[in-house]
Chains A and B, each alone.
Chain A
Amino acid sequence: MSRFIYADNAATTAVSQPVLDAMLPYFAEHYGNPSSIYSIGRDAHTAVDTAREQTAAALGALPEEIYFTSGGSEADNWAIRGAALANRKKGRHIISSVFEHHAVLHTLKALEKEGWEVTYLKVYENGIVRPDDLRAAIRPDTVLVTIMYANNEIGTIQPIPELAGICHEKGVLFHTDAVQAIGHVAINVKEQGIDMLSLSAHKFHGPKGTGALYIKKGLRIPNLIEGGAQERGHRAGTENVAGIVGLGRAIEIACKDITARDEKVKLLRDALIDNLLKIKRVRLNGDRLQRLAGNVNVSVEGIEGESLLLMLDMKGVCASSGSACTSGSLDPSHVLLAIGLPHEVAHGSLRLTLGEENTMADVNYICEVLPSIIDRLRSMSPVWEKIEAQA
């Protein structure tokens, strides 16, 4: 029997059964438009309100601080562009980090073309932003700091409460892209001093195409999407009711018992890391401890990531890589370059992101098939030949 192991949970996750059950009635039964006055419209409206309450409760926020979006990218675009525009009279300086998701980086690049200045903080070899660097980078004209909660490739968790605290001392807004962190790190926006936070449902067993932006009460940013009066006039477009319902149920489940679930996944992750590091010239990318419970990211010297993924796929294992070939560009992952990997080593990266559905048998299977795949690719690699000759 051929095996199938899904180890790419940072790319997306399966919609869980309770989430799917919650969503289904909102396609063909309660299909009303939440803005309509009759009963099925009111039903839909109530369902969206419930999801808003669930989302707010999971983040320690108020329901009126949650705005549903089409996903994490829209939330990032809106938060950053909105905060920049709202404060353009105060200043045009933004601080971020070099290894943000492209939804953040490309929004910042666009703003740079429009006259904003952006400082990108380093992340060092461990893949973590240093609070002192942030303190030193804040200027009188800094209006926004945006730092991701956890990195999508190497899983490193950033010191968000500390970073937010520094921003508040200096009167600067703090946004975090928490797309990878929801359901894995306990987040309370009030206690942690977060002004804006982006999230995406499909990363925690919700549906694709649904996300949210938390905007602290009292903070006003201009709209990104104009039109009808949905989301209290701040995000136009008929609500993706089923999606929003799914998000609400998914975040409720994801933010419950984080510790217990994480402990289980960490055992799998650590067993996988320990085993992979036994292979010659394999290194772990990102801090070993301050990382998401399911994230394993290694560089395998002498081979290229896409070949590795194709061979793993033939063995039924779904994984991802930061190689250029998989990024659709000519450059390997900006994240791996940011932590100091040479291009050729970055091309040979492998990311396995485990979830609660994975088992130790999955880990054992991966550890069983991977060494021979690596041997095979290395045996036909002229780069490996050179590495061996130098050793």
Chain B
Amino acid sequence: MLYSQKVMDHFSNPRNVGEITDADGVGEVGNPRCGDIMKMYLKINDAGIIEDVKFKTFGCGAAVATSSIATELIKGKSIDDALKLTNQAVVEALDGLPPVKLHCSVLAEQAVKSALADYYRRKGIDPEPIVGKIEDCEACALHPQG
């Protein structure tokens, strides 16, 4: 299996690793059974701009790289722009992923959405009409928790 240079770069020097203690939204997706968990922290200002983003990931090289690139793609962007982030955009930004690792890009998209959903929930707004329903990724659906 071969990772692109971009994937290896983001794996070896992941951007925005860590936590935000006073985050406005925190999302966690994946499950330890299938071997990937991503946790994303967002700091969002009153204008709805993502001022800061951090992540923590338990997973393979692709999981780390997709989390890292996703944080880069949404940092400084508006919520609306972040909501438009797709897993394909994550894959393209990394110059591709091996087919067996595509689910990691889905997880990265979901981590962003899950953190945004949490942001709305904290504001007392039902996130589902805005963020959509966050489905289990294909890989995780095969491994129900427990």
Contacts and interface: CB of A to CB of B under 8 A. Distances in A.
Interface of A: 302-307, 310-311, 314, 323-325, 328, 330, 332, 343-344, 347, 379-385
A323 B34 CA distance: 9
Interface size class of B (residues with CB under 8 A): 20 to 34
Given A343-B32, A382-B38, 4 more contacts: A307-B11, A307-B59, A310-B61, A330-B34
Nearest to B103: A330
B32 A380 contact: no
B56 A330 contact: no
6 contacts: A306-B61, A314-B12, A323-B35, A344-B32, A347-B32, A384-B58
B39 interface: yes
A304 B36 CA distance: 8
Given A304-B63, A314-B12, A324 B35 contact: yes
A311 B59 CA distance: 13
A381 B60 contact: no
Counting from the closest, the 8 A-B pairs by CB-CB distance are: A344-B32, A325-B60, A306-B60, A347-B35, A383-B58, A343-B33, A382-B39, A381-B58
B47 interface: no
Contacts of B61: 306-307, 310, 325
A330 B31 CA distance: 12
Interface of B: 8, 11-12, 14, 17-18, 28, 32-39, 55-64, 100-101, 139, 142-143
A385 B56 contact: yes
Q: Which of B28, B38, B39 gathers the greatest number of chain A CB atoms within 10 Å?
A: B39
Contacts of B18: 380
A304 B142 contact: no
Contacts of B58: 302-304, 381-384
Q: Which of B11, B60, B101 has the most CB of A within 10 A?
A: B60
Given A324-B35, A325-B35, A380-B17, A307 B60 contact: yes
**B18, B32, B39, B63 pick with most chain A CB within 10 angstroms:** B32
